[in-house]
Every structure is written in C-alpha cells, then in structure tokens.
Chains A and B, each alone.
Chain A
Amino acid sequence: AQTVTQSQPEMSVQEAETVTLSCTYDTSESDYYLFWYKQPPSRQMILVIRQEAYKQQNATENRFSVNFQKAAKSFSLKISDSQLGDAAMYFCALHQGAQKLVFGQGTRLTINP
C-alpha cells in the first residue's frame, strides 16, 4: 500500500527566512508524481509544486523548491524568503494511480513577523 508521512505536525519560521518541510513516502510504483499542496486557513487548497519521479532535476516554482531523493523516497519542500502569506497547512501527496491521491498528515506552518 502507498503511504505518505509528514513527521512535522507544526513548523515555524521567521519572516524572510528559509524553512524546509519533510515528507517521506512508500510506493511500489516506478512512475508516479508527488505534489505539495497548500491550504491557508478557511481558504481552498492549492497546488504549490509537483515532481515527476522519472525526472532527476528538482522542481522549482519561484520561492518554492523540492529536494527529491527517489532512492530514499523523500520529497521535502523548501520555502525561501518566507512571507506572511505562506502561513498554511501544507500537505504532501502521492498520486497512487486509479485517479487518486494519497495525502500525508499535513504540516502547519507559522510565519513569525
């Protein structure tokens, strides 16, 4: 069975600093996608970044980047120059096929001004 684990229930960072959120996963598939979603308080969940397992190059979207370690089954999210608007729950997710995502438990990120 596919699983996704986020071992940090909560994280905090000073505004303008860098923070890394951890995610590990388990799958028997060789071709899969990983996603990071952001869910601000009382607002919709939105896609932050995605990574294809076959691509060695780490995905980057502006201040957001990932460190994808396929052998270690690790997929961490780095947020650079943290902003107050980055405060949210962050969910790591694995596309397990059959049109479905498997989500991690989430990490609540607080930005300290």
Chain B
Amino acid sequence: DAMVIQNPRYQVTQFGKPVTLSCSQTLNHNVMYWYQQKSSQAPKLLFHYYDKDFNNEADTPDNFQSRRPNTSFCFLDIRSPGLGDAAMYLCATSRDGGRSQPQHFGDGTRLSIL
C-alpha cells in the first residue's frame, strides 16, 4: 500500500514552461520534504514543511516554489525550468521530524526538460 504517492512518475516539459509535481501521503505526517536527486548523487533537500510552516534551504533557487494546501498534499512548482533542473524529484514525509524518525519516500518523479 503506497503511503507517499508522487504523480506523475515521469514528466516532460519544455525549457521555460512552468511545471508542477505533486505528492500526497496517507500517513498523516506533519512534515513533508522535497528533494532533488541527480544521477548517482545524494538527494539534495530543497525545502520542507512542518505543518503549514515553510522552511526553505538557503541554496534553493527562487525558481522552485512549494505549496501545501492541507496535511495530505504538497506541490513542487518550477516556474521556469532550465536544462539543469532535469532530475529525479523525491517527496518524503516524517511524523514530526524528530531525530529517531525515519523519512518515508515516494517513488519520485523523473523530470525531463526539452
């Protein structure tokens, strides 16, 4: 039973055309994360929400935005995708972000830029 669901699995967009990736969770976790992962690299945290509180990483480009309209859903918006934004985007959740708690990941969305 999928608990963190990302749609779509594959997304193709054109250079500069806005794109939205979605993530939903059935775990009722307070914290949701968005990561960018390039080939054979570690996931890079873009931002996370603790409930409605948004926490942006200092080096996340302004081109990346996020929305969390409710506990279950979180969206990643890329306003003007560049070729360098082609990557796997991972969504993850944590019950409350505590030290002992593992993060639960979705399958990811692979984004390609034409």
- Chain A positions within 8 Å of B, measured between CB atoms, are 31-33, 35, 43-47, 50, 52, 89, 91, 95, 97-101, 103-106, 108
B90 contacts across to A, CB distance below 8 A: 45
Q: Is the CB of A97 within 8 A of B106?
A: no
When A44-B105, A106-B41, A106-B42 are in contact, do A52 and B94 touch as well, CB less than 8 Å? no
When A31-B99, A50-B100, A99-B50 are in contact, do A105 and B42 touch as well, CB less than 8 Å? yes
Task: Answer yes or no: B82 CB below 8 A from chain A CBs.
Answer: no
- Chain B positions within 8 Å of A, measured between CB atoms, are 4, 31, 40-43, 45, 48, 50, 55, 90, 92, 94, 96-100, 102-103, 105-108
Q: Is the CB of B40 within 8 A of A89?
A: yes
Q: Is the CB of A105 within 8 A of B105?
A: no
| Chain B nearest CB, measured from A86 CB (Å) | 18
Among the interface residues B42, B43, B50, B92, which one has the most CB atoms of the partner chain A within 10 A? B42
Residue of B nearest to A108 (CB): B40
| Chain B nearest CB, measured from A88 CB (Å) | 12
A98 contacts across to B, CB distance below 8 A: 55, 97
Identify which of A50, A99, A103 contacts B42 (C-beta below 8 A): A103
When A33-B99, A52-B100, A100-B48 are in contact, do A46 and B42 touch as well, CB less than 8 Å? no
| Chain A nearest CB, measured from B46 CB (Å) | 11
B102 contacts across to A, CB distance below 8 A: 35, 47, 50
Q: Is the CB of B40 within 8 A of A106?
A: yes
Distance of A108 Cα from B39 Cα, bound (Å): 12
B97 contacts across to A, CB distance below 8 A: 98-100
Distance of A33 Cα from B90 Cα, bound (Å): 22
Residue of B nearest to A97 (CB): B99
Distance of A103 Cα from B45 Cα, bound (Å): 10
Q: Is the CB of B45 within 8 A of A100?
A: yes
Distance of A37 Cα from B63 Cα, bound (Å): 29
Q: Is the CB of A104 within 8 A of B42?
A: yes
